[in-house]
Amino acid sequence: MKFFLDTAMIEEIKQAKAWGFLDGITTNPSLAAKTGRPFEDLAKEILKIVAPAPVSLEVVATDVDGMIREGLNLAQWGINVVVKIPMTEAGMAATQTLSQKHGIRINVTLVFSANQAILAAKAGASYVSPFIGRLDDVGQDGMKLIAEIVDIYKNYSFSTQVLVASVRHPMHVTEAARLGAHVATMPFGVLRQLFKHPLTDKGLAAFLEDWKKVPAPAKQPQTSKV
């Protein structure tokens, strides 16, 4: 399973890369806005840091021509650009043109149903992003949607990767992995939580305490050379 970071924060990206657990980045307009930086400048820095790992950059146009124009422009920013396109009628038309005519990798975002995921796969998306946390927020089972999409994609051997998004806690990651989702994109805080277990901390503290009781090695007698 691949781990993507859902962030536009440079320091978080550098830390995840240093840990060796960074398979890609997803951004969105809200995450970009949080940085307070001009988008092109920020995106190009991220692309360079993580290359050749994929970085999803989202279009903000809402019409087909605008999305295609923006997607073509974004794709020139780096070899690792994945253009993120929302699940709308215009978005699916743009996805088909950008992926099939121009060979650009597309991540279809804001997916909340299995039928939307089928459309994304048929349009030629490389990734589909079901937002599980936002479904949980409105009282629906986000993980059930992942199970449905994984099943359906297997039925038809779709090559589109299931990119589990809107991940809020480590159990989302575990469940996504159990279901065989290809990717989980998570906030930095969730990635950091994956390392943690209270019994690990407690066990390590006890080992280090006990280590202090292990006698130091006996000193070797000095042999005097004549």
What is the set of active-site residues? 84
Amino acid making up residue 43: A
How many C-alpha atoms does 141 have within 13 Å on its Cβ side? Answer: 8
Using alpha carbons, select from 63, 73, 31, 165 the residue that is nearest to residue 110. Answer: 165
Q: Which residue is nearest to ligand G3P (CB)?
A: 166
Which residues of this chain interact with ligand G3P, rule CB under 6 A?
6, 26, 28, 131, 133-134, 165-166, 185
Can you say whether residue 24 is alpha, beta or left, with left for phi > 0 and alpha for psi between -120 and 50 degrees?
A: left
Least Å from the CB of residue 144 to ligand G3P = 17
Least Å from the CB of residue 32 to ligand G3P = 11
